[in-house]
Structures are given as structure tokens and as C-alpha cells.
């Protein structure tokens, strides 16, 4: 009987923790994707699964993007313009001896601090 009394509060705690989990975050970053290249802006584009994700989630459409991949990814990861995170010189090629400064605080680090 004593074990059941200990088990019930523990089960209750586990259920409350599971229910209190933050929602999933899916970031889709596509190079050279224009405003009219998605189905919710252009009926000629067929992408039902992505459209469903967009309809059920949050779509961010007011933003700045860079013309190259490395500055865009650096800005997404840090929340800072490429001129401020050192990635404004274009795409980083393989085996290049530089990249995002390791002292930069990134989105994954902040999500980890928020228990994601």
C-alpha cells in the first residue's frame, strides 16, 4: 500500500511534466525561395504537406535574408546581421579556416536553456 501511495504522486508529476512540454519547433530554411514559390501565395505551386505545417503553425514572412547561404544561416543561428557576426563576406567554402565565432550565442543554445 505504501508503494502505491508513493507511486501515485510520481505518476502525477510525470504526467504534468509531459503535458507541460514546449511545442515542437521546425525551421525550414530554403535557399532562393521566393515569396510566390509556396502554395499559400501561389495556387500553381503544389506542396500540401508544407502548406499543412504552415497552416497549423506559425509562418514567419517579415524578415531579411541574405543572398548567400552562410550569412543567412549565421543570421538565423545568432539573430544578428551578418556584418555583426562575421559572416558578411559570402559563402564559407569547405576547409575554410574561419566560420561563426564560437563566442556567439546561438538559437540551439537558447533553446536548450529553455528546456527544449
Are 115 and 22 a contacting pair, CB within 8 Å? yes
What is the DSSP secondary structure assignment for residue 90, as one 8-state letter? S
Are 77 and 83 a contacting pair, CB within 8 Å? no
Reading the block at residue 66, the C-alpha cell is 541574405
User: Residue 58: pLDDT above 90?
Assistant: no
Residue 14 or 56, more confident = 56
User: What tens digit of pLDDT does each residue of 59-70 get?
Assistant: 888 777 788 889
As a whole number of angstroms, the distance between CA 110 and CA 63 comes to 20
Does pTM top 0.85 for this prediction?
Answer: no
Reading the block at residue 81, the C-alpha cell is 546581421
Amino acid at each position: 500500500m505504501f508503494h502505491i501511495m508513493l507511486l501515485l504522486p510520481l505518476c502525477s508529476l510525470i504526467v504534468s511534466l509531459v503535458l507541460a512540454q514546449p511545442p515542437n519547433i521546425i525551421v525550414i530554411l530554403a535557399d532562393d525561395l521566393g515569396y510566390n514559390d509556396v502554395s499559400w501565395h501561389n495556387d500553381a505551386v503544389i506542396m500540401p504537406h508544407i502548406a499543412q505545417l504552415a497552416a497549423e503553425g506559425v509562418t514567419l514572412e517579415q524578415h531579411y535574408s541574405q543572398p548567400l547561404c552562410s550569412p543567412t544561416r549565421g543570421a538565423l543561428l545568432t539573430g544578428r546581421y551578418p556584418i555583426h557576426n562575421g559572416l558578411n563576406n559570402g559563402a564559407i567554402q569547405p576547409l575554410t579556416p574561419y566560420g561563426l565565432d564560437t563566442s556567439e550565442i546561438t538559437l540551439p543554445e537558447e533553446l536548450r536553456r529553455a528546456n527544449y
